[in-house]
Amino acid sequence: MSEAASTAGLFDCRDAYAQTLLALAESDPRIVAVVNDSVGSSKLNGFRTRFPERLINVGIAEQTLVGVGAGLANGGKIPFVSGAACFLTARALEQIKADIAYSRANVKLCGISSGVAYGELGPTHHSIEDLAWLRPMANLTVIVPSDPWETAEAIKAAAALDGPVFVRISRMPTPALERATPRFEIGKAEILRTGHDVALIANGVMVHRALVAAEALARDGIEARVVNLSTLTPLDESAILEAAATGAIVTVEEHSVRGGLGGAVAEVVATRAPCPMRILGFPGFLPTGSAEWLMEHHGLTADGIAQAARGLLAGRG
């Protein structure tokens, strides 16, 4: 059993999304939800019951899903457009580019069931390229929350921000992280643990595993800094430079190793503070298997992260 599944109190971040959106809608009539036949998978049944006129279902039509979101924003609404991350991003990528990011439409795109949450359904349903597609888009804020609390904070912050946002929401059972002083701010990394030997930078459901890895490393006398880089755009470059100051960085993401969190960190490290790095993630199209199996198979576990850190430090001499 994995470390995540063995931890008491697991949560589905979609619940945090749906509850927060409903609460926001109670106090702000501009909030609307737009879905592509995904009321259930977005957990928006409660929203539909409470605000039926503000739940717009365009059917199985992702390009129109995103275009309608842009139109609703033009009409003064604050649309939360949610659909499976794999389809929302890939099928409507040009709409996200032209209608949302380039047009600066005040739309909140919520990619649900992201990463490998749909493990057994295969690579067509995995969303492990979405961050690489969206990260280069100017004007688009990209957030990958780590747990239910941060998901709720990200949704509130997205609603308050006047501009386009993508929030990547997992459906994997995820523990709530313990935070000494909880505070979420778009564009600010969260330092969950200080350390000077190596930095572990993670986001999404990998943050919990990075923390467990840091505890294991501490038992070996290696003090790891753990950084939750939940906002990929805009990027907290100072947090990355501080991480680079430890001399070694391991990035961990439930995404392809190309173009996601690791790529974002590497761009900063390579140009401003070169240091050895390991980028942990998925290599490409994946074999079938449950989400947990896929993550274990590809080393995206606390053990895998700790081993990568040890290897990096050994290689550094």
Partner 1 sequence: MSEASQRLENRAARVAERANWIRRSALKMTFDAGQGHPGGDLSAADILAALYFDILRHDPARPDAPDRDRFVMSKGHCTGAFYSVLAAAGFFPQAELSTYLQPLSRLNGHPSRAALPGVETSTGPLGHGLPVAVGIAIAGQIDAAGYRVFVLTGDGELQEGSCWEAAMTAGHRKLDNLTLIVDRNRLQQGALTEDTVALAPLADKWRAFGWDVVEVDGHDPAALLAALEHPGSRPLCVIAATIKGKGVSYMENQAGWHHGCPTPDQYAQALRELAA
Q: Which residues would be at the binding site for partner 1 (CB under 8 A)?
A: 32, 53-54, 56, 58-59, 61, 63-64, 66-77, 79, 94-95, 98-99, 102-105, 139
Closest approach of partner 1 to the CB of residue 109, in Å? 14
* Chain-centroid distance, C-alpha 221: 30
Dist CA 31 CA 22 (whole Å): 9
CB of 102 to partner 1, least distance (A): 5
CB 13, CB 148: distance < 8 Å: yes
- Helix, strand or coil, per DSSP, at residue 7: coil
Closer CB to partner 1, 99 or 153, in the complex? 99
Helix, strand, or coil (residue 242): helix
Which tokens go with 105? 């439409």
Rounded to a whole number of angstroms, the minimum distance from the CB of residue 99 to partner 1 is 6
Q: Are 95 and 66 in contact (CB under 8 A)?
A: yes
Cβ contact 107:133 at 8 Å: no
Q: How many CB atoms lie within 10 A of CB 67?
A: 19
Helix (H, G, I), strand (E, B), or coil: what is residue 226? strand
Q: Which residues contact 317 (CB under 8 A, 6 or more apart)?
A: none
Q: How far apart are CA 205 and CA 191, in angstroms?
A: 16
- Active-site residue among 3, 62, 242, 267? 62
Q: Which is nearer to partner 1, 166 or 282 (CB)?
A: 166
Nearer to partner 1, 96 or 312 (CB): 96
- Could you confirm whether 62 is annotated as catalytic? yes
Of 2 and 139, nearer to partner 1 (C-beta) is 139
As measured in angstroms, the least distance from the Cβ of 83 to partner 1 is 13
Least separation in angstroms between residue 49's CB and partner 1 is: 17
Residue 286: both structure tokens together: 């994946």
Q: Note whether 72 and 56 are within 8 A (CB).
A: yes
Element (H, E) at 111: strand 108-112
Least distance to partner 1 from the beta carbon of 29, Å?
9
3-state secondary structure of 96: helix
18 vs 100, beta carbon nearer partner 1: 100
- Give dist(CA 43, CA 147) in Å, integer: 16
For residue 234, whether the previous peptide bond is cis, meaning omega lies within 30 degrees of 0, is: yes
The nearer residue to partner 1, 68 or 235, going by C-beta atoms, is 68
Q: Would you please indicate which residues are annotated as catalytic (active-site) residues? A: 62
